[in-house]
Amino acid sequence: MKHRSAPHGDGVHHTDALRGLASLKPDSVDLILTDPPYGIASKQRLVVRNGRIVSTQDSFGAWDTFARGDHEQLILNVLAESFRVLKPGGALVMFLSREDQGYFLRKAMDKGFVYRNHIVLVRKSPLPSFTKRNWRSGFEICFYVIKPQEPRNHRPRVFNFLSQAECNNVMSFASTHKKTDHPTEKPLDCIRRIVEVCSNPGDLVVDPFAGSGTTLVAAKQSGRRYLGFDTNAGYVRMMKDRLDATLPANALNSVGAHAEAA
């Protein structure tokens, strides 16, 4: 894939994940935190969207529908590009469907990544089972891997151990966490904690499948630089509005200081 010069400054760009990653220089990114399409949309899987029970195919739309083999190739290509652009010791945190987690983790390790852990996000109030033929779906899962700094150095470049409680790899979130109309939006508090642990202020955080923009918002709130890519023009406009309304870290600290003084 041809590599072009990287986009300048923070922001979200209307392009696909591979073109976006290809625009970045090697060893230039500190953290990639992303939630790509799972390729699991179907008429048989049900979710609640805007108060109605609908299939994941109707809820997710075309962006989660792939021809046979295309989804696998997309994720493999993203893994390869992620390894290229990450700094030695940089981290990749990737959400995937439960049935694909093990497969793509192995593929990531084949490409040179080193496994560190899994992170699980637990819903406090999961959706009911509409068919009553399976366990309720109560968690999301992502793997955490790093690009090794050298063959025998498998430590992350950054790991800010905030506290024993905050660095538990199981986090809970309320089902009322959503701030946008994106169907697979992740909880901001959990994503911000991952950003704060796996990067430092001023570091570059990239989300190749930016979607709802939660990773970018978390990065901005935490004083990190950020870049996001998405193919959906409507989501790109929504993310830009959301980021415009997001206070940067220094403004948030100022608001907190004034509140404490009051």
The reply to whether 139 falls in a domain is yes
- pLDDT recorded at residue 261: 40
- Rounded to an integer, what distance in angstroms lies between the CA atom of residue 195 and that of residue 212? 16
The reply to whether 3 falls in a domain is no
Range of the domain at 218: 11-261
- pLDDT recorded at residue 260: 39
Q: What percent of the chain has pLDDT over 70?
A: 81
Using an 8 Å Cβ cutoff, are 212 and 241 in contact? Answer: no
Using an 8 Å Cβ cutoff, are 121 and 139 in contact? Answer: yes
pTM of the model: 0.85
Task: Residue 141: count other Cβ atoms within 10 Å of its Cβ.
Answer: 14
Q: Work out the mean pLDDT of the chain and round it to a whole number.
A: 86
CATH number for the domain harbouring residue 113: 3.40.50.150
The reply to whether 1 falls in a domain is no
- pLDDT recorded at residue 152: 83
pLDDT above 90 for 6: no
The reply to whether 179 falls in a domain is yes
- pLDDT recorded at residue 175: 73
64, two tokens: 């989660």
Instruction: Classify the phi-psi angles of 95: left when phi > 0, otherwise alpha if psi is within -120 to 50, otherwise beta.
Output: beta
Q: How many domains does the chain have?
A: 1
Higher pLDDT, 171 or 129: 171
- pLDDT recorded at residue 47: 52
The reply to whether 76 falls in a domain is yes
Give the CA angle between residues 86, 173, 119 to the nearest 5°. Answer: 35
